[in-house]
Amino acid sequence: MWSRLKEKLSEIQAQRDSVNEDDIREAREKCDDEGAKGFRSDVELLVDMAEDIMHGRFKVSPEVIAAIAAAILYFVWALDLVPDFIPVLGYIDDGLVIAATIKACMTDIQRYKKWRKDKEWTQDNPLGRLMKKAKTYLQARRSLPRKDYIIY
């Protein structure tokens, strides 16, 4: 049992390290295929999340990284369980893998969606940028020693 677990962990590590910028670009291009239209937004979400993880902008556990990497690689590879060149059927297994990955990583995906929404709001909105600066200022103020002033 332990040897099987070690083998599985080494597979996960290899998958995590094997996703690169080319795989991400290829996954984005493959989203435009007719068969992938039904789950395009899910794939794009995983690809965006993988990109932010790769660049260190978003942090998740190694297990989530491995699951997302495996799903993207499975989606990109044309010769998987049901080859993608078979009309309609070729993308069913890809869709199932993407759906299973999203279900397995749901808490991290929800956290990523919230993080991305907050990030977009603060970047696009002057009020959002001001609120972010105010939050940073208040956090810095809290860390300073408190002084009691008497106002007459």
CA proximity to 70, closest of 54, 53, 89, 50: 50
Q: Is residue 128 part of a domain?
A: yes
CA–CA distance, 28 with 53 (Å, rounded to integer): 16
Q: How many CB atoms lie within 10 A of CB 11?
A: 12
Q: Is residue 22 part of a domain?
A: yes
Instruction: Please give the residue range of the domain that contains residue 28.
Output: 2-143
Q: Is residue 96 part of a domain?
A: yes
CA–CA distance, 127 with 121 (Å, rounded to integer): 9
CA–CA distance, 55 with 16 (Å, rounded to integer): 14
pLDDT at 10: 61
pLDDT at 64: 92
pTM: 0.62
pLDDT at 125: 67
Q: Is residue 152 part of a domain?
A: no
Question: Which residues, in sequence order, are CB contacts of 81 under 8 Å at separation 6+?
Answer: 93
- What string of pLDDT tens digits covers the 152 residues of the chain? 456 655 655 665 555 556 677 777 777 777 666 555 667 788 888 988 988 888 888 999 999 998 998 888 888 887 778 887 777 777 788 888 889 999 999 999 999 999 988 887 666 667 666 767 777 777 776 665 555 555 54
Q: Is residue 91 part of a domain?
A: yes
Number of domains present in the structure of the chain:
1
